[in-house]
Structure 1
Amino acid sequence: MRKIANRIAGLALVLAGTSGMSVAQVRINDPGRVVERQAENRANRKIDQAVDKGFDSLEEGIGNIFKKKDKKAAETPAKTGAQGNAGGSGAQTEGPGNGAAGESAGAKPGKATLKSYSKFDFIPGAKIVAVEDFAQDAVGDFPAKWNTNSSGEVVTIEGTEGKWLMLGPEGVFYPEFVTALPENFTLEFRLATTSEFSFYTGFLRTIIAEVGTPAKEFTNWKWYDGGKKNGVEMGLHPKDAGGSQGIASFNVFGEDGGSLMKNEKSFPAFHVPEHNVVKVSVWRQKTRLRLYVDDFKVWDLPRAFDAARKYNFIAFSNHGYHEQANRYFISDLRLAVGAPDTRSKLVTEGKFSTTGIHFDVNSATIKPESYGTLKEIAAVLTENSTVKVKIIGHTDSDGDDAANLALSKKRSEAVRAALSADFGIDGSRMETDGKGETEPAAANTTPEGKAGNRRVEFVKL
């Protein structure tokens, strides 16, 4: 009886805490929508009663979608051969987009292909400066390199690779290792929600700002506007009331905290029954901002950033229903700086290396999110029709040496085939080779170093 009473009291507090913002979030006042909303709330209460034990133990999850593995087992993962290399490692060392999202992409109806990403023009920054896959954190803990005014913990999601940070309710989540953002950078991460995610839950907001003392001021970036200034805030929600569209919001805050620019639009929903997982890509070029969800370009704004600002802060903020059925998860965060200079480096300097060509785990299958990088390389080869190149695959040091070498060769051959078949580059202009782990570009002692070593190199012949 005490447990039931406590549960009822907890639900009452949740309803009391969210009732004041629900109307603003719904933004629809017709009677039909009110009836729909009440019906959903009633259904949620039924579900809540049925899974009461699930709220007492996160291991059970909601609908058995998100399961946490045994904490001790997660702290001592087994090595998985060569899958960690040339853009495809296991959960412990994988950089975002380089293999870890293979299962996630497959969960969506119809596996994406390079051709399906034909309008995807995102190109990652030239140098990887931060990678966060939560490999160093134990399942059940809040990650050591982050801060929050809420709660959260590292979990695993059944059917996906790697670890995820499950965000708690009503809070700001701040990676303390990001301290400087130049005028050209890219930010990538995977975003997931629970499958029963409610339309009435708030947006997940990605924040890029200039903050005087981030450790003290990060809490200003709560879901409401108080205290925000000198920053860009991008919000994503997986679905609208009908589940057919996602919702994206955008807001730029000035020196006085006032909104300088804002908008809201729909984009293809990422709500599906099995997994709600997407790749989010943010690209800053001086004042210009591009935001992609998978291959869809949500925003392309020429004056989003203030060129005079020294942006030094990235965070995530959320609000809404507090139930376990409505949670956001992030993983595989990757920050890279510098504008790619494919033309100059390949034609003038004779060599170009990229970490922007990604592969499925332990495979030579190229991920469709590599399209922008491949398209840029193909454009250089098309414009310089006499140039011939050698394509060389490289890996990090995880796994078996011989397997890494073989995998790097297969991946260089896959790149050659893609440039020929999908972009019309004559195959006779391209040779292939693989070096495995024998020529590292950085030490294999950090996630950033390993991610930099999983690369494809183009050498002018």
Structure 2
Amino acid sequence: MKNITNKVAGGILLLAAVSEMSAAQVRINDPGRVVERNAEYRANRKIDQAVDKGFDSLEEGIGNMFKKKDKKAAGKPAESDKPNSNADAGQQPENGGNEAAGASAKTEKPTLKSYSKFDFIPGEKIVAVEDFAQDAVGDFPAKWNTNSSGEVVTIEGTEGKWLMLGPEGVFYPEFVTELPENFTLEFNLATTSEFSFYTGFLRTVIAEVGVPSKEFTKWQWYDGGKKNGVEMGLHPKDAGGSQGLAAFNVFGEDGASIMRNEKSFPAFHVPEHNVVKVSVWRQKARLRLYVDDYKVWDLPRAFDPARKYNFIAFSNHGYHEQANRYFISNLRLAVGAPDTRSKLITEGKFSTTGIHFDVNSATIKPESYGTLKDIATVLTENATVKVNIIGHTDSDGDDAANLALSKKRAEAVRAALSGDFGVDGSRMQTDGKGESEPTTPNTTPEGKAGNRRVEFVKM
């Protein structure tokens, strides 16, 4: 499939989460049940294969992993691979993508209000960004390693490139070499529509590993050598197919699981959503995991503060059919704990990359809610403080356009703080500097992401 662009047609069924999950059910796994369940997966796989082949027989090529294909759209070109100027990682076109995407486009765009329970705040400094822009479609990404296979693809109706994970393996970004006691990890996740319950979870692993380049394969699902790490699993379907599944394992020094849980919740896998965003937040021992705006886990003792975590990987199993695939994109790792109060009130200046906008637009993305709420809280508690809100962009695109965009984004932030959080608008002025004041060189994805920021300067 080398050098073949994956034009994923409309109607794809991808992961999504909802903001109200009061009906969620939690259960504790019995180790024996885990073994039994894996045995059931394999025993039923042949039945599942036969069903999948019934769907696949009517279609051709890699794009046929997705059902309800729009035959009229099949010949239309996919969205351009060329990154948009000053686009946030993981963004899609404002209109939800190509019109041919049909049911795959979001019917209702989430708002800041819909994310009112989302308290995630990205780390202070971006240290790694992976959007696969440097990799050719059809290749395995140059900065990753695996004991399986995979390739960079495009998905019609979404922005940029994706890594399609191959069968039963571990996928390791070699550029992650150190994880401090405070960091955040974000990435986009998608699946194919004909996804079997008997296929395994996508596991996100955070661990302490002696020599990552040699030991990363220990995180295969069936390997007993794994230790000193946290493993978070996501799956788009439970046994009934109406809910998603999340799981976690915490492994100790001897490799044994010392804490585990599994949780199901409704409407995790619905057709009107394009992409789910996964956000992981470590604060010393505490772990929080979000899927879109829903907080899946909040564990106060998941990480061992004595461990020097230095490893992130993705692990899967059970992909013997093309119909069961995971895709990841737009990985973003940031370190440090934002200290809005101290920096704005004491130092007089606070800068954040945690306010995201639609591509080439001043429309604020709803996942910015946690950052905006944190800033609004500081301003509310310090009622005499006035601030100048200044927008900044990276150097992609036209200088004049970037300057105008930065001013519009600053004004959008002011409007959100006033309209959604009740901060008096007269306490806030706005300005924009475009690309004229970079904090880092615009020569790397990390540098560009760091320059797409909003500053708050005490007046």
1:95 equivalent in structure 2: 89
Aligned to 1:174: 172
Alpha-carbon distance in 1 for matches of 2:146, 2:231: 17
Over 3 Å counting, the alpha-carbon distance change for 1:122 and 1:102 in structure 2 is: farther
For residues 336-387 of structure 1, what are the alpha-carbon distances to aligned partners after superposition, in whole Å with 9 as ceiling and x for unaligned?
0000000000000000000000011111110000000000000000000000
Q: Determine the C-alpha separation between the residues in 2 that align with 1:38 and 1:169.
A: 16
Aligned identity (percent) is 78
Structure 2 residue 37 is the aligned partner of structure 1 residue 24 = yes
- Distance in 1 separating the partners of 2:216 and 2:413: 42
For 1:333 and 1:101, locate their aligned partners in 2 and report how far apart those are by CA, in whole Å: 21
Q: Which amino acid aligns with 1:84?
A: S
How many residues matched?
417
Q: Distance in 2 between matches of 1:58 and 1:320?
A: 18
Residue 416 of structure 1 aligns to a residue whose secondary structure is: helix
**186, 191, 194: which one aligns with 1:193:** 191
1:326 aligns with 2:320: no
Residues in 2 aligned to 1:26 and 1:369: alpha-carbon distance in whole angstroms = 39
Cα shift at 1:119: 0.5
- The 1:68/1:144 distance shift into structure 2, 3 A limit, reads farther
Match of 1:131 among 129, 133, 141: 129
Other structure's SS at 2:134 match: coil
In 2, are the aligned partners of 1:270 and 1:276 still within 8 Å (CA)? Answer: no
Distance 1:330 1:173, change over 3 A: same
TM-superposed CA distance for 1:241, in Å, is: 2.9
Conserved 8 A contact 1:378-1:419: yes
Amino acid at match of 1:230: N
Q: Hey, what does 2:240 align to over in structure 1?
A: 242
* Within-5 A mapping of 1:100-179: 103=96, 107-179=105-177
| Aligned-pair CA distance for 1:321 | 3.6
1:216-242 superposed Cα distances (whole Å, 9 cap, x missing partner): 100000012411100000000012233
The 8 Å contact of residues 378 and 423 in structure 1, kept in 2 or not, is answered as yes
Aligned to 1:46: 54
Distance in 2 separating the partners of 1:101 and 1:227: 45
- The answer (yes or no) to whether the contact 1:187–1:281 under 8 Å persists in 2 is yes
Quick one: distance in 2 between partners of 1:341 and 1:137?
36
- The secondary structure found in structure 2 opposite 1:423 is coil
Quote the residue 2:212 is aligned against: 214
One-letter amino acid of the counterpart of residue 436, structure 2: T
Per the alignment, residue 10 of structure 2 pairs with none
1:241-280 Cα distance to aligned partner (Å, 9 max, x none): 3332110000000110001100000134332236552000
CA–CA distance in 1 between the matches of 2:204 and 2:417? 34
Aligned equivalent of 1:298: 296
Q: Which amino acid aligns with 1:44?
A: D
In structure 1, give the amino acid aligned to 2:52: N
Shift of 1:84: 2.1
> What residue in structure 1 maps to residue 450 of structure 2?
452
Mapped to 2, the partners of 1:346 and 1:296 lie a distance apart of 29
- Contact 2:104–2:272 (CA<8 Å) still a contact in 1? no
Which AA in structure 2 matches 1:58? Answer: I
Distance 1:416 1:99, change over 3 A: farther
SS in 1 for 2:420: helix
1:414 aligns with 2:412: yes
Q: Which amino acid aligns with 2:315?
A: S
TM-score, normalised on structure 1? 0.85
CA distance in 2, matches of 1:247, 1:109: 24
Q: 1:327 and 1:341, CA in 2 relative to 1: closer, same or farther beyond 3 A?
A: same
**CA 1:25–1:258 in 2, change beyond 3 Å: closer, same or farther?**
same
Unaligned runs of 5+ in 2: 1-33, 98-102
Secondary structure of 1:103 counterpart? coil
Could you tell me how far apart the structure 2 residues matched to 1:322 and 1:244 are?
23
- Looking at structure 2, the residues matched to 68 and 186 of structure 1 have their Cα atoms a distance apart, in angstroms, of 40
Q: Secondary structure at the match of 2:214?
A: helix
Change (3 A) 1:70 1:27: same
TM-superposition CA deviations, 1:116-170 (whole Å, max 9, x none)? 1001000000000000000000000000000000000000001100100000010
Maintained 8 Å contact 1:60/1:67: no
Instruction: Assess, with a 3 A threshold, how the Cα gap between structure 1 residues 195 and 67 changes in structure 2: closer, same or farther.
Output: farther
> Do 2:438 and 2:451's aligned partners in 1 also have CA atoms closer than 8 Å?
yes
Give deviations 1:284-309, integer Å, cap 9, x for gaps. 00000000000000000000000000
Q: Secondary structure at the match of 1:220?
A: helix
Structure 1: unaligned runs, 5 residues or longer = 1-20, 29-33
Give TM-score, length-normalised by structure 2.
Answer: 0.85
Q: Which has the higher helix share?
A: 1
The amino acid across from 2:143 in the alignment is: K
| Residues 50-69 of structure 1: pairs in structure 2 closer than 5 A | 50-51=58-59, 54=60, 57-58=61-62, 61-63=65-67, 64=69
Output the amino acid matched with 2:119.
D
Q: Distance in 2 between matches of 1:117 and 1:389?
A: 25
State the alpha-carbon separation in 2 of the partners of residues 436 and 328 from structure 1: 37
**SS at the partner of 2:328?**
strand
